[in-house]
Amino acid sequence: MTDEVTPARFHALGWRVMAYAACTHYRTGSLAAGVRLADAIARVAETFGKDAHVDLRRSGLTVRLPVNDSGQLGDDDVDLAGQIAAVAADLGLATDLDGLQTTQIAIDALSIPDVMPFWKAVLAYETFGDTLIDPRREGPTVWFQQMDAPRPQRNRIHIDVYLPQDQAEARIEAALAAGGRIVYEGHAPHWWTLADPEGNEVDVAPWPDREEDG
């Protein structure tokens, strides 16, 4: 994001900023209500000339505004989010951010240029900077982390879970209560690395939804 477009501007609209998109979720209660909202979102997004990714279920609708080719969100995204929020309000639909998240698979590699093409081919993904993305925007992104030395006794793939800032602490506490442990806090409060009882790792990341990260 640019310095001007901070997470707080999306927060004020009932949206959150996670990884590669600004997003929110509306409770609909029925597919019919969700379809009405999806249709309204499509018309509003068309006037902005922008993409709005919609995931519709009977219970609710999640909408994401993806970052541009430079990996940023702009003033037009804030404006579009505001228009979508207004449309949802007009339809009497409530915002529900509980459970809102984005997941990413992170792969450690000594030579990313050698490894990345394999995963791009086997997943039929597209390249977005140093990340692979599902062309249909349905599956998790895949990101490659540079290794400085072989680690044969350590898992080489982990999951990134991006959460709204106000949900990260509770998610970590739930993971610890379920038998997990914190293995690294050096990047906190941007993210914490946790592991399950057998050492498989996951990063829980309120970045970039933190105001300080805007």
Q: Could you read off the pLDDT of 24-62 as tens digits, one per residue?
A: 999 999 999 999 999 999 999 999 999 999 999 999 999
Tell me the pLDDT band of 211, cut-offs 50, 70 and 90.
low
Q: Give the model's pLDDT for residue 78.
A: 97
Q: What are the residues whose beta carbons fall under 8 Å from the beta carbon of 121, sequence distance 6 or more?
A: none
Q: Which residues pair with 142 in a beta bridge?
A: 105, 132
The domains of the chain, with CATH numbers, are 7-95 (3.30.1360.20), 102-213 (3.10.180.10)
Q: Give the model's pLDDT for residue 209.
A: 87
Which uninterrupted H or E stretch holds 56?
strand 53-56
Tell me the pLDDT band of 150, cut-offs 50, 70 and 90.
confident
Q: What's the distance, Cα to Cα, between the start and end of the chain in Å?
A: 7
Of the ranges 14-18, 82-86, 137-141, 145-149, which one carries the lowest mean pLDDT score? 145-149
Give the predicted TM-score (pTM) of the model.
Answer: 0.85
Q: Give the model's pLDDT for residue 155.
A: 64
Q: Give the model's pLDDT for residue 103.
A: 94
Q: Which residue bears the tokens 């609708």?
A: 61
pLDDT of 3 higher than 60: no
Q: Give the model's pLDDT for residue 2.
A: 44
Q: Give the model's pLDDT for residue 212.
A: 65
